[in-house]
Amino acid sequence: MKIQHLNKGQNVSIEHFKEQDIHITIDYRAKSSMALDTFVLLLKNDKINDGTYVKFFEPQGNTITMILNLKSIDMQCDKLPIVLIPKDGSSFEALESMEITLNNTIVYKVELEAIQKTKAIVLAEMYLRNNEWKYKILLDSYNNGAEVLVETFGFDFTKHKTITPLVQERNNSNKLLNGKNFIFALFTFILLYITSVSYSNFTKQDLTINVDVETTLKEVATPSYLGIKIADSLEEGHVENAIIYKNLADYLNTPIDSTTLAKLEQENGLIARGVRYAKDFRTGNPTTTAGLVGDLVADITYRDITNIYDEAKKAYQGESYDEFTLYTSMIGVALTFTTLVSAGGTALPKVSISILKSANKAGSLSKPFKKVIVSKLYKTVNFDSLDNLNSINDFKIFLEKIDAKPINELFANLNRLHDNSGSPGKTMTLLKYIDNEKDLDKMVKLSDKFQGNTVGVLKVLGKNAIYGSQKIINALNSLVEYIVLIFNGVLWVIYLAFGILFFITKSFTTASNRMLGVGRYILNYVKR
């Protein structure tokens, strides 16, 4: 509903409000403390008969709220003026602003110059004319205060601050700990709390709807698809990729044409394989299995020490250094010492560290997952104690104090992934698809099923394979999550706005009315 601003002397019909309560709110600000007596007079032929026809409203802070029902008083009076009188008999000179609002739609900002020297005012009135109720801004001033009002209306209503049954009394609802208000506030808070907890739990849930990955895989990995992939890999010189697709075809019992198989056998023959292996092993290029093995051998034997020296030197000199290389090298050296003591008991974790380093060197680690690893490795080592190392024995003691708890779960999953995939090279390839620990956990579960063929599954289906779900399901889950988030956010905004209004107005009813008014305005705006 459109907000209507009135001027002094202007009237407007309020007949359409006759069937409902009328909420009149007066908000004011003053330079100093100012308390106002507020009266609604029930007049018949401009006179009051007795005190039962006077309604007194107690202000709540700087807000006065009046709730009236025209239908209940229709036959007993024809005019309802609203009177304001300062309690201490002073004038309105301290006022800085005043505004009167009817049902959040009819507004009048009081012209202060007209009333500052006066001691009483009739601010506005509701009156019945030709069977129609109207509302008019008066701003009539009385310099002698209540005395003139007594003469005007024929009754000293200032001595009769009684409650008339003809005007609905709602002052009790202005009390903060009123029973109904307390229950309402408690219910709202509980609703907000439940919504917040529900949203928090919702975001922790894995709402993915699982589908059969193997069925999807068979639909995509047809004989022609795998045949083309093998042929393309051989053409590009990527024999290992061709072997991955061939192994996946065997797992799915998918036939490959004899010509493609013959070419693969030729490229993977003993002599050709030996030449490739020797070359890659010598260069230590971690992009093939042979190169990776060469890189791992170098890493396990001496590279950890040189990496620690190089990166620690940069850090000590204030230069930019590679945290990932420094932390993984320290853990690698620590595991080497432990291996010597326990006769090889930690060889597999050592390999996992070396695989991570080789994957980083080859660019196979995503930036998000690399950050996860760095943050966990940092928690394992007390780097401040490095300044106190003066001997090999000190260094050994330092390594023995490394706390492996922060990385236990991470490396347990990496070791399991290594076992399932069957080789460091395949493990490193799978790491390309991992952005966080949740991805790693799902990848491990996928590898539990497909073992050494997991790389082939990822090459065919992409990262979606580790979630085992259709993209539309993920999109739907995200949509539901956003809806819950928005609903929870709207509730908190409403609760916060109500709290601010209550703090400002010191009135539960006024704050409620303002909120309802905003709600009506928004609904009407949307309807238009």
Can you tell me the distance from the alpha carbon of 305 to that of 525, in angstroms, rounded to the nearest whole number?
70
Q: Are residues 382 and 488 in the same domain?
A: no
* Closest C-alpha among 234, 232, 230, 236 to residue 254: 230
Q: Are residues 160 and 201 in the same domain?
A: no
| One-letter amino acid of 528 | R
In a domain, 104, yes or no: yes
Helical packing angle, 347-361 and 424-431, nearest 10°? 50
Q: Are residues 178 and 136 in the same domain?
A: no
Can you tell me the distance from the alpha carbon of 459 to that of 20, in angstroms, rounded to the nearest whole number?
69
Q: Are residues 137 and 11 in the same domain?
A: yes
DSSP string, 91-139: -STTEEEEEEEETTTEEEE--GGGTTT-SEEEEEEEEEETTEEEEEEEE
Block residue for tokens 């490394």: 402
Q: Are residues 329 and 422 in the same domain?
A: yes
DSSP string, 260-285: HHHHHHHHTSHHHHHHHHHHHHHHT-
Give the count of domains, the chain: 3
In a domain, 291, yes or no: no
At residue 351, the pLDDT reads 64
Q: Are residues 406 and 484 in the same domain?
A: no
At residue 274, the pLDDT reads 45
Q: Are residues 184 and 200 in the same domain?
A: yes
In a domain, 138, yes or no: yes
Block residue for tokens 């009483």: 120
Q: Are residues 361 and 490 in the same domain?
A: no
Structure token digits, residue 283: 């260069």
With 0-12 / 13-18 / 19 or more C-beta atoms within 10 angstroms meaning exposed / middle / buried, residue 369 is buried
In a domain, 156, yes or no: yes
Q: Cα–chain-centroid distance for residue 444? A: 30
In this structure, the chain runs to a length of: 528
Q: What is the 3-state secondary structure (H, E, C) of 23-73?
A: EEEEEEEECCCCCEEEEEECEECCECCCHHHEEEECCECCEEEEEECHHHH
In a domain, 220, yes or no: no
Q: How does pLDDT run along the chain (528 residues), one tens digit per residue?
A: 578 889 999 999 999 888 888 999 999 988 887 888 888 888 888 877 655 567 778 788 788 988 888 877 756 788 999 988 888 778 888 899 999 999 989 899 998 888 888 888 999 999 989 889 999 999 988 877 666 666 677 666 555 554 343 344 344 434 444 455 556 666 666 766 666 666 555 555 554 444 567 777 777 778 888 888 888 888 887 888 888 888 888 888 888 888 888 888 877 654 444 444 444 434 444 444 444 444 444 444 456 666 666 766 676 667 777 777 777 777 766 665 554 333 334 444 566 777 787 788 778 888 888 888 888 877 776 666 555 555 556 666 666 666 667 777 888 888 888 888 888 778 888 888 888 888 888 889 888 888 888 888 888 888 777 765 444 445 555 666 667 677 777 777 777 777 776 666 555 656 666 666 666 666 666 655
At residue 476, the pLDDT reads 53
In a domain, 437, yes or no: no
To the nearest 10°, report the CA torsion of 514, 518, 519, 521: 130
Q: Are residues 54 and 198 in the same domain?
A: no
In a domain, 284, yes or no: no
Q: Are residues 110 and 179 in the same domain?
A: no
Query: Is the CB of residue 436 less than 8 Å from the CB of residue 368?
Result: yes
Q: Are residues 39 and 164 in the same domain?
A: yes
Which domain does 176 fall in, by range? Answer: 172-209+469-528
Q: In whole angstroms, how large is the CA radius of gyration of the chain?
A: 41
In a domain, 116, yes or no: yes
Helical packing angle, 323-341 and 347-361, nearest 10°? 160
Q: Are residues 130 and 199 in the same domain?
A: no
Can you tell me the distance from the alpha carbon of 174 to that of 276, in angstroms, rounded to the nearest whole number?
87
* Closest C-alpha among 378, 380, 376, 438 to residue 413: 438
Query: Is the CB of residue 398 less than 8 Å from the CB of residue 385?
Result: yes
Q: Which of 169, 201, 223 is the last residue of a domain?
A: 169
